[in-house]
Chain A
Amino acid sequence: MTDIPLVHVLILSSLLFTIGFVGVVVRKNTLFMLMSLEVMLNAVGVAFIGAGSVWQEADGQIMFMLILTLAAAEVAVGLALLIRMQRHYRTLDIDVLSKMKG
Chain B
Amino acid sequence: MSLFASIEGLFYLAASIAVIASLKVVTGKNTVHALLYLVISLLAVAVCFYLMGAPFAAGLEVIVYAGAILVLFVFAVMMFGLGVDETIHAPQSRGLSLWFGPILLGTLLLIELVFVIDNSELTLQLSHNVVDAKQVGILLYGPYLLAVEIASFLLLAGLVAGYHYAKPEHQGGRL
Contacts and interface: CB of A to CB of B under 8 A. Distances in A.
A73 B158 contact: yes
Contacts of A38: 38, 65, 69
Interface in B122-145: 125, 129, 131, 135-136, 138-140, 144
Given A46-B45, A52-B54, A72-B69, A39 B25 contact: yes
Interface residues of A, dominant DSSP: helix
Contact of A80 (B154, B157, B166): B166
Which applies to chain B's interface (DSSP): helix, strand, loop or mixed? helix
Contacts of A31: 31, 73, 76-77, 80, 83
The interface size bin for chain A is 35 or more
Interface residues of B, number: 66
Nearest to B15: A12
Q: Which 7 A-B pairs have the closest CB atoms?
A: A73-B158, A23-B26, A80-B165, A80-B166, A76-B162, A58-B135, A80-B162
Interface of B: 6-8, 11-12, 15, 18-19, 22-23, 25-26, 28, 31, 34-35, 38, 41-42, 45, 48-49, 51-54, 56-57, 60-61, 64-65, 68-69, 72-73, 76-77, 79-80, 83, 85-86, 125, 129, 131, 135-136, 138-140, 144, 147, 151, 154-155, 157-159, 161-166, 169
